[in-house]
Chains A and B, each alone.
Chain A
Amino acid sequence: MTNAAWSVVEVASRSLHPDEREAVLGDLNERDESAWQGLLDVLGLVLRRQVTLWKSWQPWLTAFGVTVPCSFLLMGASLSICQSWLWFIDGRTLRSADLAAAWVLPILACHAALLLGWSWTAGFVVGSTSPRTLWVSAVLCCSPCMFCLARFQVPSLSRFCLLLFLLPATWGVRRGLRISRLRLSWAIALASATTLMIAFIGSSGTQRWWTPAAWILNATLTWPAWYLVLASTRLRKKTCGDSTEDGGSTT
């Protein structure tokens, strides 16, 4: 194989498990196959692995339960925060929402913290639940972003305000890839904090929390945090079960 062709095969094999990649590339080398045949072989294996992955529920959940809805809603939330911040600087918030001056900054900070929490948890769920189909989630996240960026027409705001959520979401994905599960105490703290902030914003009168749209928005963006609680609880139960079994077998 030429070096260039070999590089293409290597790139194609990157989505395989490291051990499997090692064995497959070694086999191709040993049999001295043509670059084209090697590429077809590797792509065939990658395709089979992807099909196997999509037989389970995790990729579907992360792609269509988290990535697609959260991307759209988080873009809206990012835009809303940038707009509120501009209004706050202009001093218009005070007039429009009839809020006491002392409440404006905490509520704005709460909105920002919520955006951070929602984005991070959504990213963490995507990264930890189905790491090997991350590329699909990335495509599904980028498509609506590109669509909205192309049609963005708010003169007072930069179009990159739409993508504010991407930084914490990417951080969450990276964290999710490194540690597959959060500690239960952290997961509960995160989910509770998110829910409390929603309640705080709702009680301040800046959001019509009783409307169906607000309920759908809050529920869609908050459920990944509660999903993490559920996943951590299940992991803890499993770990406790395993350690009990180990204890039983040694005594």
Chain B
Amino acid sequence: MAESVNSLLLTSLCRAQHLDIDFRREYNHNVVLMMGEFEYLLITAADNLAENAYGAAIRPQIEATTGHKCSIGALYTTIDRLEKKGLLTTWMGDATPQRGGRAKRMVRVTAKGVREAKGFYEAVTGVSRGASWVANRTRGVS
């Protein structure tokens, strides 16, 4: 129900911006399931880090982008959720002396993850086109 309302809103917004993205159709075919913004941030950070993507490396990337602290709890629960959705794969890496001899949990974005992140990016950039903060206008500001 929530998904169909979301898809309807997104489709209407895209139509208003003259974009041909039918989110209802996408949802119905289970092609695109919109991810959350934190999930998108995490996937993007992991993709940027490529072979060096693991918890302690992803956190500063997210913090630098958002300007907010990223807690370990939020990071690891989101990694688990994304792994269950098939958007990420994780495995235990090597232990290093700088980590006190403890192993890393390495992260890799799957092909499905790349597709979904691309879909999210296109939707957000598409729907943002013409917004006052993008076009640097002051419309709507009283």
Contacts and interface: CB of A to CB of B under 8 A. Distances in A.
Interface of A: 19-20, 22-31, 41-42, 44-45, 47-49, 52
Contacts of B99: 26-27, 29-30
B72 interface: yes
Contacts of A48: 73-74, 77
Contact of B102 (A25, A42, A49): A25
Contacts of A23: 54-55, 76, 92, 102-105
What secondary structure prevails in chain A residues at the interface with B? helix
Interface string B103-131: 11100000000000000000000000000
A29 B102 contact: yes
B42 to A, nearest CB: 14
A160 B72 CA distance: 45
A20 B72 CA distance: 11
B100 interface: yes
A20 B103 CA distance: 10
The 5 closest A-B CB pairs, nearest first, are A26-B102, A44-B73, A23-B105, A26-B99, A45-B73
B104 A24 contact: no
A49 B80 CA distance: 11
Given A19-B92, A44-B73, 20 more contacts: A19-B103, A20-B76, A22-B105, A23-B102, A23-B104, A24-B55, A24-B72, A26-B95, A26-B99, A27-B56, A29-B98, A30-B56, A30-B99, A42-B72, A44-B74, A45-B71, A45-B77, A47-B73, A48-B77, A49-B77
Interface of B: 54-56, 59, 71-74, 76-77, 92, 95-96, 98-100, 102-105
Contacts of A28: 72
Contacts of A29: 98-100, 102
A49 B77 CA distance: 8
A40 to B, nearest CB: 8
B62 to A, nearest CB: 13
26 contacts: A19-B103, A19-B105, A22-B92, A22-B102, A22-B103, A23-B55, A23-B103, A23-B105, A24-B76, A26-B95, A26-B100, A26-B102, A26-B104, A27-B54, A27-B72, A27-B99, A28-B72, A29-B98, A30-B99, A31-B56, A31-B59, A44-B72, A45-B77, A47-B73, A48-B73, A49-B77
Contacts of A25: 100, 102
A150 to B, nearest CB: 38
A227 to B, nearest CB: 27
Nearest to A21: B102
